[in-house]
Structure 1
Amino acid sequence: MSELRTLYPVIEPYETGWLDVGDGHSIYYERVGTPGGTPAVFLHGGPGAGISENHRRQFDPARYDLTLFDQRGCGRSTPHAGLEANTTWHLVADIERLREKFGHEQWLVFGGSWGSTLALAYAETHPKRVSALILRGIYTVTRAEIDWYYRFGVSEMFPDKWERFLAPLKTPAERADPVRAYRALLTGTDETARLEAAKAWTIWEGETITLLPNPELTAPYHDGHYALAFARVENHYFYHDAWMEDGQLLRDAHKLAGIPGVIVHGRYDMPCPAKYAWALHKAWPDADFHLIEGAGHAYTEPGILDQLIRATDRFAG
């Protein structure tokens, strides 16, 4: 058996900046690798998580010209935790603005978790601009997927963590609809309650995305500044069903015809049930499918990371 692939060495961007995308938003971007290399864009998760230094390291810097950016409301983009003019379709337009700014006719689109949702939305809207797709932890934001994570499903696997998640919700009615109840807390005027809710929402996700405890991975989820953007933006999207019709991304997967790709999904992914990755695999036969045994959701899990690096190497020019 061949040795598992892992991250490329640490690398710094060759260009950074902010792009005014209108509506009062300015998004932070960075470009990494080799100018003139295979164009690619990295779409982070959440929504609301932001990019990290290790995200750059999933691509061979000698062969890629990679763009990464913090989506509206999170990371170094401004306004921090801003919800106005912040929808899936605003983000799809932002990706196009970046592509046009850097003069790429097409680019490889890489997205994990919510990033896979956004990648699918972008590719189904602008299929001619996508040279290839690499998707990890497939999430199609159906009502059933949202309920699985925030009503009944993952709660059965992590009853101790679920109890902590529900702690800010004081009434049976609130606990019956956590997404709606958290919406009220996260957009309310009580700063103490807002921060408490943000941390509880964010820690629930941070502690259920990997099968084995990983303090390095979950540390940012306990930070109040990070948690406020993560929780407010993510809850905002899920409260509004990501401004998509139920099942829209799978329904429109035929628009991906002819785009080569790779789907990587952990067998025991808690936030993103594998049945949706399987359904995408069936609807998009141009993509190779890898269901990783013994893996959860996080891209850092060895079997998942191995396939992601192999995928980026495969499409590197």
Structure 2
Amino acid sequence: MSRGRAGNTGRAGTALEGKVLTNNGLDCDETPADYEQRLKERMLPVLAGWMGSSNDCMRVACMQEFPVQPLLQQELLSELRSKASQQTLQMAVSSAWEAEQLVGHCNAVVWDSSGYIEPPSQVPMGSKALRLILTSESGTFDLMSFHLPFVDSPGGIRYSDSIKEAAKFLQLSAKPSVAGRSLIAAGDFNVQVDDLVNGECMTPLAAIPDSAIFREHRLSVDACFASAVQPDSAMEQKVSPLVEVEGVWRSSREEFFGADGRDAFIEKHVAKNLHNDPQLWRLSDAAVASLGCWPFAEQAKEVSRQGEVKQHNWHLELG
């Protein structure tokens, strides 16, 4: 989100070669603040209306390209609970790190915890997917939200590679992790689903027509599938518990800063002119991790804003 590609030029050998890129597939050239506003004003009301519209089934929402900023994740969950009138809604997010590098977005899953009897666990899938194990009184569910990386658009010289990568992902992931359990998955293949079905894919897919608009092209790249085939025993051995960190379920408490910790994160991801700023020292781990996702040029403004929010909340507590 905040590490936008706006102004860069498309790589040689892709359909966007030589073209000026925007920082998202919608060609909006959004700033981080614009994107945050769009999430709150357009995405949240739709999600809240859907999550809160039925009491007779356990609804789960799978989201892709979700923001990695911990503070924004917490804020979105809080507003979602309020808009849906469901304080029992929970959120889990995939890792913000891939090969020790901070990624620009993540996968997320939202569910109503009142229908489940155990804390969530996960099957680690890297940055491509968030795969949860949720247990209710009626059974255990294997759920996956996924987003495959963009390789090339239809008609591009590497588009066939896109299809092969998507088919490979399906082959490796479209198995339940435990016998007697079905896998239910939803996400973005970043290829036309019809091309995947007609080419390499053996798993039945339900596509969402015209789910994306990219440079005036309507694409059907989002789909869901269910699988109850022979379980993958290797996946079962990898199941690990999630940890609730400041209200959001994550793979570990160290997730904010990666393997090297807070100081190393600040050194690499926070502008040098802020390192000795007392406001930075007083920020929580979630706030520092969020700050590091902003462009350096925007970080001073964000530090001041977070300080104002913290002071406002402090005055509210004093009452």
TM-score normalised by the shorter chain: which range applies?
under 0.3
Provide the TM-score with structure 1 as the length reference. Answer: 0.27
The answer to which structure has the higher strand fraction is 2
The answer to which structure has the higher helix fraction is 1
Provide the TM-score with structure 2 as the length reference. Answer: 0.27
Larger-gyration structure (1/2): 2
